[in-house]
């Protein structure tokens, strides 16, 4: 009997208070740019570490083990959010994001997780991990005026600076694409080791 496939990814969850702050920031952005962007729901926001694509249910225990092995090697840490940007750039924006400023531990965690997943057959990415939170995507039907408005917004954005966002776990999520948007379901959690240097 064929096992069910699950569209999944591994990400760092964000505290509820941080999501509320991002939601307030999104409301300010929406006031300045009223059309041309499909904004992300702050309640569903997370910091993606690895998109796995379709996996078999029977792979979940091995993936969780790979996650926990990476988490066991990394103490809990904090990051901050600062700066509005876009891919591929501010003059031809397609994806709007807010930057993530984090210690070297985040890159180390990502590298260890990637290595552990490679051992399970998942492909390694050929570019350096660039941590960010996606806030919105430019609509396919956006006019030149709307895209120009987004570019102006990127060059003079409202300020967002969130210090001390705690990172103490990484989660495996199931992603179901529905007409009303994606639904994320927590499948597994891996706790980072306690940081004895933190109060």
**Domains in the chain, CATH or no CATH each:** 5-191 (3.90.1140.10)
DSSP 116-166: HHHTTTPPPPSS----EEEEEEE-TT--HHHHHHHHHHHHSPPP-EEEEEE
Active site residue 64: no
Residue of 16, 46, 110, 155 marked active site: 46
> Given 16, 64, 132, 155, which residue is catalytic?
132
Residues 6+ apart with CB under 8 A from 181: 41, 44
Report the length, in residues, of the chain. Answer: 199
**How open is the CA angle 4-10-12, to the nearest 5 degrees?**
145
Residue 100 pairs in a beta bridge with: 81
Looking at residue 199, what is its pLDDT?
Answer: 46
Is residue 46 part of the annotated active site? The answer reads yes
Residue 185 neighbours by CB under 8 Å, 6+ apart: 173, 174, 176
- Dihedral sign, Cα of residue 101, residue 129, residue 45, residue 143: positive
Q: Which residues of the chain have pLDDT under 70?
A: 1-3, 196-199
pLDDT reported for residue 169: 97
Tell me the whole-structure pTM to 2 decimals. 0.90
Which sign does the torsion angle of CA 40, 44, 48, 53 carry?
A: negative
pLDDT for 124: 86
- Taking only the tens place, the pLDDT of each residue in 28-84 is 999 999 999 999 999 999 999 999 999 999 999 999 999 999 999 999 999 999 889
Task: Identify the helix (H) or strand (E) that includes residue 54.
Answer: strand 46-56
* pLDDT value of position 197: 54
Asked whether the beta carbons of 39 and 135 are under 8 A apart, the reply is yes
- pLDDT score, position 128: 86
């Amino acid at each position: 009997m064929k096992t069910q496939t699950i569209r999944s990814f591994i990400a760092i969850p964000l505290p509820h208070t941080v999501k509320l702050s991002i939601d307030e920031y999104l409301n300010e952005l929406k006031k300045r740019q009223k059309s041309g962007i499909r904004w992300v729901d702050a309640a569903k926001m997370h910091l993606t570490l690895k998109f796995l694509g379709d996996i078999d249910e029977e792979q979940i225990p091995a993936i969780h083990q790979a996650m926990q092995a990476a988490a066991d090697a990394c103490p809990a840490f904090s990051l901050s959010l600062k700066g509005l940007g876009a891919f591929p750039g501010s003059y031809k924006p397609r994806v709007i994001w807010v930057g993530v400023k984090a210690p070297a531990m985040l890159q180390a965690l990502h590298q260890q997780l990637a290595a552990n997943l490679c051992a399970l057959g998942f492909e390694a990415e050929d570019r350096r991990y660039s941590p960010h939170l996606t806030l919105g995507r430019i609509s396919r039907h956006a006019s030149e005026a709307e895209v120009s408005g987004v570019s102006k917004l990127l060059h003079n954005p409202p300020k967002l600076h969130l210090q001390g966002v705690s990172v103490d776990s990484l989660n495996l999520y199931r992603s179901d694409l529905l007409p009303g948007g994606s639904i994320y379901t927590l499948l597994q959690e891996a706790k980072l080791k306690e940081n004895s240097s933190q109060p």
